Structure 1
Amino acid sequence: MALVQLARCVRPRLHRRRDPHLRVPAGGIVTTTQASAAAQPSTAAAPLGTGSQASRVLGVVVLVAMAVLLWLAFVASPRDAIQGDLVRLLYLHPALAWTAYLACFIATGASIQHLRKRTVGSDLLAHSAVELGAVMTLLTLVTGAIWGRPTWGVYWVWDARLTSTAILFLMLLGYLALHRIDAAPEVRSRRAAVLGVLLVPNVILVHQSVQWWRTLHQDPTLLDRNFDFGTSDLLMFTMVFGFVAISLLFVWLLLHRFRVAWLEHQVESAWLDDAIEARRAEALAESREAGAR
């Protein structure tokens, strides 16, 4: 137990306190020559990628779905009588916002699980979801600004919906920043998880902002019971298909990002184990030399 506690304290700063007699071979793992040779079989057995047969099939489905979506949005669908070609952004903007919400729900659930169980997998899942959530939220803000300039006359206003979405984006960036502070991995993960729990309440605030305050942003179209679905069949089909296609894209990206994070964790753990073994070998060699004298 004492060795485990010592390793946790040394781990984040190990690369700055490396013994000058240790060398860094190809691959970047701190080890001795013997440890490096012992590590070669495990390196050869490591997976060469993050894909599997199921993920490759999903990738093909995503590729086809995104191609169909772009064709529907920018070629097949007609111009709107009022908004003209600007309506084509609406095939992407709501779906991007939905995937940002979905990422926050996953991150909050995984953060709660990490605070309860302290599992590595839940922390990696939350971190992966937050990374994708930040990208989707940024794309939501950008596409909304492009749509808002000709519609409202400005790219940005301090509207309740826009402001709360910007706050959500800053919270996602804050989560990523907490994961990079100079502290032990357990401390970083725990602090980030606390912020991750607050993501869903802010998502609820973003979604309900158009109902709770006066805002330039329109009410949810798909949830409007008075919306006439029959007068714009292709528009509605393209919008719903956009939700499906971009959701599949999000799932595919999350799957691969989580696998990359898991491999990074495995490499980092192996690096720590090799460094500890190298120090044990050095201590043993020094004790033998002292005994020989």
Structure 2
Amino acid sequence: MENAAPNPRSSGSLHRFANPGRFLRLTESWLPWLSGAALVVLGIGIVWGLWLAPRDWQQGETVRIMFVHVPMAWLAMGGYMGLAILSIMSLIWRHPLADLTARELSPIGAAVTALCLLTGSLWGKPMWGTWWVWDARLTSVLVLFFLWLGHAALVRAFDDPERGARMGAILALVGVVNVPIVKFSVDWWNTLHQPASVTRLDAPGMHVDILYPLLWCTLGFTLAFMAVTLAATRAAVMERRVRALQMAAARRADASPGQMRSVEA
């Protein structure tokens, strides 16, 4: 890892972050600010959404689940797109940090998608009268959850980390076709799930008293997602550096008796 050099075909911007030491130095200064911003923005969004925002005239207090569910759904899809980009960087440019970041991202993405499914079930029970229905939106999100889990398991299933990363990258790129299915399933098929309310081209389909705290929660959860991913990647880089130092020390220890015998001879 330490001696890996970026492929010369990669761009200059990729070169800048390819060195693990430079990555650690940059993120050491970024991570506290990013984590602090995530806490502040998310704190404002949660307080605003769960306590200060008005109850919905139709859904009542149940609508507050949306302030967690919707950000989790966006992060599940957006995070998977990030995983696909990392996979392209790994397969084409052999970026030395792309594999590590992807490896650490998939458990986080699986957790986010699980929260999306859980909060969706909690929201669906009072609204639809059931915890689960096999409609297009819910089923495609469940498939997305299994893709996250599959990537997390596949990259750890091989003794050779490079081979595992390669197989995981291929799975991520194949699975990316599910993301537009998740996004547009409510438009393509007749489902119980409500259509898009925020990303409509004409105007958002919700009152600003609910829209604004939702956007704050989404920004806060997004910053937290980025901070956790960066922290996990930093930990993976440092763990690999420590392992490399231990292996080098073990090789030196194994070589020392042989050198002493040659000196004695």
TM-score range, shorter chain: 0.7 to 0.9
Q: What pairs with 1:1-293 in structure 2 (closer than 5 Å)?
A: 52-225=28-201, 232-285=207-260, 288=262, 292=265
Question: Structure 1 CA distance, aligned partners of 2:235 and 2:25?
Answer: 8
**Structure 1 residue 57: deviation in Å?**
2.2
Contact conserved, 2:155 with 2:165, CA < 8 A, in 1?
A: yes
Q: What fraction of aligned residue pairs are identical, expressed as a percent?
A: 32
Question: Structure 2 CA distance, aligned partners of 1:53 and 1:225?
Answer: 38
- Going from structure 1 to structure 2, the CA distance change for 1:120 and 1:228 (only over 3 Å counts) comes to closer
**Structure 1 residue 51: deviation in Å?**
6.6
* Cα distance per residue 1:113-152 (max 9 Å; x no partner): 1112333201012122222211111110111010001111
Contact conserved, 2:42 with 2:216, CA < 8 A, in 1?
A: no
RMSD: 2.4
SS of the residue 2:120 aligns to: helix
Question: Structure 2 CA distance, aligned partners of 1:180 and 1:233?
Answer: 45
Normalized against structure 1, the TM-score is what? Answer: 0.76
1:239 alignment partner AA:
L
Bigger Rg, structure 1 or 2 = 1
Question: Structure 2 CA distance, aligned partners of 1:271 and 1:194?
Answer: 32
Contact conserved, 1:93 with 1:140, CA < 8 A, in 2?
A: yes
Question: Structure 2 CA distance, aligned partners of 1:284 and 1:117?
Answer: 41
* Cα distance per residue 1:77-122 (max 9 Å; x no partner): 1111110000001122111111112211111111111112333201
Number of residues of Structure 1 aligned to a counterpart in Structure 2:
243
SS of the residue 2:159 aligns to: coil
Normalized against structure 2, the TM-score is what? Answer: 0.83
Contact conserved, 1:164 with 1:205, CA < 8 A, in 2?
A: yes
1:288 alignment partner AA:
S
* Cα distance per residue 1:9-48 (max 9 Å; x no partner): xxxxxxxxxxxxxxxxxxxxxxxxxxxxxxxxxxxxxxx9
**Structure 1 residue 193: deviation in Å?**
1.4
Which runs of 5 or more residues in structure 1 are unaligned?
Answer: 5-47
